[in-house]
Amino acid sequence: MTEAEVLLKTHQFLRHEAIDRKSVVRLYTDAHSSLLPETRLQPFQRFFLDLGDMVFHPDLVGQLSDGECIFAVEAKGTTDMLKGLAQAEVYQAGFHYSFLAADASAWTGSMISLARGKNVGILSVADNVLMPFLPQARMPWRDPFQSVFRQMEAVIQVSGRQTFLFNLPTHYLVWAIILEEGVAYDLEDMKNSFQGYPMPEDWRGALAGAHKLGIVAIHGSSVKLTQVGRAVKPLLPFDISEWASVHRDLINRGGPMTLCTRHLQSASMLRVLLLQDSLVRLVVDGLETFPEKKACFADLARACDQLDHSRAPVFFLKPASAASLADDKGKIGWSKAIGEDYRSTTFFQYKSILKHSGLLKATALGGAAARGYDPTKDIWELS
């Protein structure tokens, strides 16, 4: 069995099996060029385990349902078992659990004894995947763990429905108007709750944006206003038809109208919510390093990388680009990055939301897609 086949079977196994009685809630495959064509391994993301003079990136990185424990997997086929075991042992510096996955035939008695002695988990891969040895969870080293955990937090914030899918905040704030305090709503019934408002077809994405801002809590199929949402509700003095009018004003006006100019109170409240986001604070801190509090997107990315190397590559770059632009020490070659390397959700949706809140001045958006995007002409300026 090849290393890629082992990795695919291990990925499928971990998506459905528990580790130490805790389910795997997130699982990412290293964004190596050889793995990207295999869509069954999605989502991809390179995680950097920085040990100072050495940087490692596991084949799989996951998070368990307790929200704290993270694990790493090194995959091998039938060869290089000692090398794989050494790599998996190194991962203990930044992860609570580390595993070596390999073809079942490669797990000899001596290899099993070595893995057990080093507290490295064993994943034996054949037609089925078995876990003959579950390692004991151990506390990793503080700095490497904190770096990996910040990467994980950033990945969660910018991937899938955890990021902003729309560039108008009205789609996210409307839920504080629609939902009543203390009422639990069934998710399947939500699509009937916004009559009179031009909700996008992907209304679940709009609801996810409200969740990201902390306005709503989503537990399974139940949706409720949070304490934050209940505090926000009286600050939005509109019924749903009036809020629809605000939304249309932001779309239809020919000038640079933002929520900040249309209704300052709503924008100020949005600004407070956004500043709870570590990535938003990173952007603000990055811009404050420039004398005029202004920079093009390419320079802003470099400045943010200097401030927080764990989060910046995740926030600014696509997973495959972050992997290809990094050297052996994990340093990003920003000068080599082109427009298509950057996340469009960052330079389009995030920037638009920050403009509407009043955090950024209303400079032009660089574009809705990475193709043709020029990060040197996209200006970000603190308001």
Examine residue 266 and state whether it is found in any structural domain, yes or no: no
Domain stops at, among 110, 128, 158: 158
Among residues of the chain, what percentage have pLDDT more than 90? 90
Structure confidence at residue 86 as a pLDDT band (50, 70, 90): very high
> Tokens 């970000």 sit at which residue?
380
Q: Which tens digits make up the pLDDT trace of 100-125?
A: 999 999 999 999 999 999 999 999 99
Q: Which tens digits make up the pLDDT trace of 361-378?
A: 999 988 878 889 999 999
Answer whether residue 56 shows pLDDT above 60: yes
CATH at 117: 3.40.1350
- The mean pLDDT of the chain is 95
Domain count, the chain: 3
Q: What is the pTM of this model?
A: 0.93
Answer whether residue 2 shows pLDDT above 60: yes
Shared domain for 133 and 25, answered yes or no, is yes
User: Can you tell me the distance from the alpha carbon of 312 to that of 302, in angstroms, rounded to the nearest whole number?
Assistant: 8
Shared domain for 106 and 209, answered yes or no, is no
**Phi-psi sector, 303: left (phi>0), alpha (psi -120 to 50), beta:** alpha
Structure confidence at residue 190 as a pLDDT band (50, 70, 90): confident
Q: Compute the average pLDDT of residues 230-237.
A: 93
CATH at 173: 1.10.10
Q: Are 260 and 267 in contact (CB under 8 A)?
A: yes
User: Can you tell me the distance from the alpha carbon of 120 to that of 127, in angstroms, rounded to the nearest whole number?
Assistant: 22
Shared domain for 75 and 104, answered yes or no, is yes
Shared domain for 194 and 336, answered yes or no, is no
Domain range enclosing 232: 160-247
**Least confident piece of the model among 143-147, 184-188, 331-335:** 184-188
Examine residue 305 and state whether it is found in any structural domain, yes or no: yes
Answer whether residue 254 shows pLDDT above 60: no
Shared domain for 298 and 355, answered yes or no, is yes
